[in-house]
Amino acid sequence: MASLVLSLDGELIREFEITKPRITIGRRPYNDVPIDNLAVSGEHAAIVQIGNDLILEDGGSTNGTLLNGASVEKQLLKDGDVIEIGKYHLRFFAGKTIGAQPDFEKTMLIRSPFAGKQLGQADAPPAAEGASPLDAPTNLDPFPTTFSPEIKTHHAPEPLMAQAAHVAAATPPHVLHYALKVLNGKQSGVEIPLTKPLTSIGKRNVQVAMITRRPHGFFLNHVQGDKFPIVNGATLNERPCPLNPDDVIELAGVRMEFLAK
């Protein structure tokens, strides 16, 4: 899902997911993205979905709306674009179009050879021509010939699946805890817990990145600086990078390991 990350002077404030065909940005509190600053108009700008595109529109604001440093009235948004309203920055992260349906694997229906038949009827040989129906083998006995009535009085052993279910129910689920472990410098060995929806890392006015916690995982986003973060030796781009356990992040001269334990 597409989102906007609001920041001021490199400090991350909040992430806003774009969940409606039209969202508004402005000083008044009823806006979808409220910015309480006198340089921001009451209804400063809006983002409108047209087809699969998201369009930034200035709402006739007093101080104007900048996109990547240029004044705009209406402009198509691209992943990584930075909207400037007063001193505030809104970085746009593209995602799936609102209302798009995920692709699911198709399930094949395999018809059982026993479908529509009673127990014992499957693959029964046909009766000989002219023979009485009573002469034909029926195979309707659901128990083997060695079945003994005495066995009925004993409790059957619990199925393995049921036993496993009882064990699983008795064992509390393991909750993962996520953190960043500093690997070099004066703070080497220090662990930074990732418990908030947004965690900013780096050095202000040098290089800043943001780790976003979402329902389907953690993502690293570049926020500020000429150089992009490095993950496992590869330099990132404007797109959010999903994080996996043991990934190593390099940012502003500091190496950190992403932990899940």
How large is the greatest C-alpha to C-alpha distance in the chain, in angstroms? 100
Per-residue model confidence (pLDDT) at position 113: 47
- Exposure letters 118-130 (e unless 16+ CB within 10 A, then b): eeeeeeeeeeeee
Alpha-carbon gap, residue 188 to 246, rounded angstroms: 16
What does pTM read for this prediction? Answer: 0.48
Q: Which residue ranges form the domains of the chain, and what is each CATH number?
A: 3-93 (2.60.200.20), 178-260 (2.60.200.20)
Per-residue model confidence (pLDDT) at position 141: 47
Pairing assessment for the beta strands 241-242 and 82-85 based on DSSP bridges: unpaired
Nearest Cα to Cα of residue 7 among 92, 96, 95, 76:
92
Per-residue model confidence (pLDDT) at position 152: 47
| Cβ–Cβ < 8 Å for 73, 58 | yes
Per-residue model confidence (pLDDT) at position 132: 47
Write the single-letter amino acid at 1.
Answer: M
Per-residue model confidence (pLDDT) at position 221: 85
Segments of the chain scoring below 70 in pLDDT: 95-175
Per-residue model confidence (pLDDT) at position 157: 55
Per-residue model confidence (pLDDT) at position 94: 85
